[in-house]
Amino acid sequence: MKYSKKGWEKRKKDREGLKDFFETCVNKIKKEGLCCLECGEKLKGNVSEVAHVLPKGYFKSISRNNLNWIPLCGMYSSNQCHTNFDNLPIEKVKEMKIYSKIILIFAELETIITEKITYKHYDKYGQS
């Protein structure tokens, strides 16, 4: 995707600090030998295993918050729990093992989110 100079500057500003955030999360995965919270597979310590609970593209105010991520197997796994979490319909996400944890994380983050929280967000993250 090509960006205008203004668009590129905005993207750079929006992504400021994400490199350090992902580095910290990946180091935690490696150091603590974390497993996928959904399927239990041992993680390799790859950035694709860092799943934002609330989408970083919309919720920029908490995109680098240490509470706003969970370890889920990524691109090197046959289970693809991170991809499933990001792309499955809400009904299927609610059936995932991690869903109760997602609800708790949302409740903790809700008070510090500066973006508008829509009814769709509450449907996905605010109810069990």
- Tens of pLDDT, residues 45-71: 999 999 999 999 899 999 999 999 999
End-to-end CA distance of the chain: 37
The more confidently predicted of residues 17 and 19 is 19
Are 76 and 29 in contact, with CB atoms under 8 Å apart?
A: no
pLDDT in tens, 72-116: 999 999 999 999 999 999 999 999 999 999 999 999 999 999 999
Measure the CA–CA gap between 63 and 113, rounded to whole angstroms.
10
- How many Cβ atoms from other residues are within 10 Å of residue 114's Cβ? 9
pLDDT of residue 8: 54
Q: What is the DSSP letter of 115?
A: S
* Cα(65)–Cα(52) distance, integer angstroms: 10
- pLDDT at residue 124, rounded to an integer: 87
Helices marked H in the chain: 5-14, 18-32, 81-87, 90-93, 99-109, 119-125
pTM over 0.75: yes
